[in-house]
Amino acid sequence: MIQLQNVNKVFTDTNHNNFQALKDISLAISPNECVLLHGSSGSGKTTLLHIIASLMKPSSGLVEVKGENIVSLSDYHASAYRRSTIGYVTQSFYLLDNLSVEENLLPALVLESLSEKEMAQKIKKALSLANIEHKAKQKVSTLSGGEKQRCIIARAIVNDAEIVLCDEPTANLDKKNSLFFLGLIQNLKNLRKTILIATHDPIFEKLECVDKVYNLEGGSLE
């Protein structure tokens, strides 16, 4: 499903200093696997997720998703790839505060050629899976942290993405909502999603559906 071979990422700052954030990363994730990516702050987790989401190109190496080399995608094709294949759960709440929960899901769908009815059905299904359907009409600014996170999950899966990438998804949640989030991941696993979660939250030890754990330190897999 996802295959990385000898992926390197070097950032160059304004003083032309190079910093290697990822070093020779090779990994493989099969369909419907749930994989944890552990690593302390600054170890390269977000960079790796950005590369898999084709939000960023590696400096060298091969990245194949569903048999397609995504490194060579143009910006246009990269965003089409993201819309069709990737759900992205972020650690901070990039939601439009003044819109309702359901309105926040629309941008993920507007570029698809769907009827209004089909859009409404997809939104209803995603909100129900993320257990936030009862707040569909409520403004995001009035939601609790846990509810916002459920809204982000609904947005990530509304396009039927096969791959769900989560970047420190429980960083802003309390214990109760973090445990609730684990339940949602279990649901996604049952829906046969392929899941990659970057985290250093020990609560994920409770997540039973984990198939594999990778450790990233200083940009290298251990």
Cα(57)–Cα(205) distance, rounded to whole angstroms? 31
Interaction of residue 104 with ligand ADP, rule CB under 6 A: no
Cα 155 to Cα 87: distance, rounded to the nearest angstrom: 8
Among 43, 46, 85, 199, binds Mg ion (CB under 5 A): 46
Residue 43 sits in the site that holds ligand ADP (CB under 6 A): yes
Asked if 38 interacts with ligand ADP (CB under 6 A), we say: no
Q: For residue 44, what are its two tokens?
A: 């390269």
User: Which residue in the set 25, 36, 38, 46 belongs to the binding site for ligand ADP (CB under 6 A)?
Assistant: 46
Q: How many residues bind Mg ion (CB under 5 A)?
A: 2
Single out the segment in contact with ligand ADP by CB under 6 A; choices: 34-42, 108-116, 137-145, 179-187: 34-42
Q: Binding of ligand ADP at residue 41 (CB under 6 A)?
A: yes
Answer for which of 26, 28, 30, 42 binds ligand ADP (CB under 6 A) is 42
3-state helix, strand, coil in the chain (%, to 5): 35, 25, 35
> Which of 44, 61, 87, 169 is the binder for ligand ADP (CB under 6 A)?
44
Rule CB under 6 A: choose which of 2, 21, 143, 152 binds ligand ADP: 21
With CB under 5 to 8 Å by kind, the binding choice for 149 among ligand ADP, Mg ion, none is none
Instruction: State the Cα–Cα distance between residues 124 and 164, nearest whole angstrom.
Output: 19
Angle subtended by helix axes 145-157 and 175-190, to nearest 10: 20
Contact between 85 and Mg ion per CB under 5 A: no
Residue 179 · residue 19 · CB < 8 Å: no
Strand order in the sheet with 86-89: 86-89, 163-167, 194-198, 34-38, 212-217, 220-221
